[in-house]
Amino acid sequence: MAQKRILMVAPTPYFSDRGCHVQIYEVARSQRLNGNDVVIVTYHLGRDVGDIPTYRIPRIPWYRKQSAGPSWHKLYLDALLMMRTLQVARSYQPHIIHAHLHEGAGIALGIARLLRVPLLLDLQGSLVGELVNHNFVRQGSVIYRLFRALEQQIIARVDGMLIWSYISEALQRLFEFDPAKVFHVNYGVDLERFKPYHKEDLDDLYAKLKIPRGRTVIVYLGILSAYQGVDLLLEAVPRVLKCMPDAYFLIMGYPDEERYRAKARSLGISEYVCLPGRIDYAQAARYLSLGDLAVAPKLTSMEGNGKLLNYMACALPTVAFDLPGNVATLADTGVYAATGDAQAFADQIIALGSDPQRRLDLGKRARERAERLFSWTAIGSEIDAVYDILLNRRGAGVAPAAHSSAARTRVHRGERSCDA
């Protein structure tokens, strides 16, 4: 089909250097590479990345939360986002609305019907799963059941769903899906941005982070939270150090860095652990390349684990729990421990950390696997094909490509927010 105009709805403080936002950016970028036109509508917080036009709700001075997780403030933020999305959509006249997360689809349902365009829900996880993971609601409670019913209703009303292979099995155990609406796709990774760097080219980072030379560096990059397994990881460190006194843990990400620094102090491991906080996405591959191996102690199967692909692209051998999605992604390039078993996780770090040749072999094969299966070039083409299917089902024609820039010009006339 001809060039399509894609309006993406992102109910989150995009862009904030974390996995969900990386996914949104890379999906949008993949469509630009496929010749489509893309705009993103999002919250007032975050920053613009790349050259993808980003439209924001009005600035809310008292709301500054950029970390992952639910908040009751999102009720009015999403109301503002709905109004902003309608404003942009009327000028931009999209062919497809691509809604990230269930909230995005809920916001866009009425707008898609008004404009008579297909609505695609990009499922990065479960709404109720996120609420439980962040201890926002208790599983089985009345509020939990209400949100689960809402999630099912959204699933039933969209025109199509991208279900990332990593979480497909877990989601389909919880909810009923119309098979005709489901499109399975793999996560992807930017293989040009994420690549291994030689350690001799990272002197600035060694100095900045004060990492002792000659250590076996274990890296983690992601959200710092209990459900991501960060508490468990720190509790595994003393056992690792008993067998690997040269081990050094570089645990990167946010929020709650100070809480985890305090936990490291209480465990007596501060001199073996560095928690530098948020890492700029543009620099992530260089920071990861400080590592000799990577860890992914995430404890839930209800969300994706995009960090695995970044590790693979950087040729890092990875220790992870044996969740189905981890195994499907890493295959025989990964090293696994029983989910939730801190001792087993530590033992696998020790085994891999003590075997340099095995690390080199697994890292090399991980990079090759990423190149073979997880290139955004191929995955972007698959998503573009999904757009075509949804448009054909509606019998919708796509205007010539020249319309795209004209439509976006209308949006730019005084409508784009300066909030970033």
Q: What tens digit of pLDDT does each residue of 328-364 get?
A: 899 999 999 999 999 999 999 999 999 999 999 999 9
Q: What tens digit of pLDDT does each residue of 251-310 get?
A: 999 999 999 999 999 999 999 999 999 999 999 999 999 999 999 999 987 666 889 999
pLDDT band at 152, cuts 50/70/90?
A: confident
Cα 354 to Cα 217, 240, 358: the distances in Å are 12, 11, 9
Residue 388: predicted pLDDT: 96
CA 368 to centroid of chain Cα atoms: 22
Residue 400: predicted pLDDT: 44
Cα 135 to Cα 69, 130, 231, 253: the distances in Å are 9, 9, 15, 20
Q: Mean pLDDT for the chain?
A: 89
- pTM for this entry: 0.80
- Model confidence at 413: pLDDT above 70: no
Helix (H, G, I), strand (E, B) or coil at 250: strand
Residue 179: predicted pLDDT: 84
Residue 68: predicted pLDDT: 67
Residue 302: predicted pLDDT: 67
Euclidean distance between CA atoms 185 and 168, whole angstroms: 9
Nearest to residue 56, comparing CAs of 419, 410, 414? 419
pLDDT band at 219, cuts 50/70/90?
A: very high
Residue 183: predicted pLDDT: 92
Residue 402: predicted pLDDT: 43
pLDDT band at 410, cuts 50/70/90?
A: very low
Cα 53 to Cα 37, 192, 408: the distances in Å are 10, 22, 9
- Model confidence at 127: pLDDT above 70: no
Instruction: Tell how strand 334-337 and strand 318-321 pair up.
Output: parallel
- Model confidence at 72: pLDDT above 90: no
Compute the half-sphere exposure of residue 244: CA atoms within 13 Å on the CB side of its CA: 25
Residue 2: predicted pLDDT: 75
Pair 66, 32: CB distance under 8 Å? no
Could you tell me the two tokens for 112?
């898609």
Worst-scoring range by mean pLDDT, 206-210, 244-248, 408-412?
A: 408-412
Worst-scoring range by mean pLDDT, 64-78, 199-213, 359-373, 406-420?
A: 406-420
Q: What tens digit of pLDDT does each residue of 316-327 get?
A: 999 999 998 899
Q: What tens digit of pLDDT does each residue of 103-116 get?
A: 999 999 999 999 99
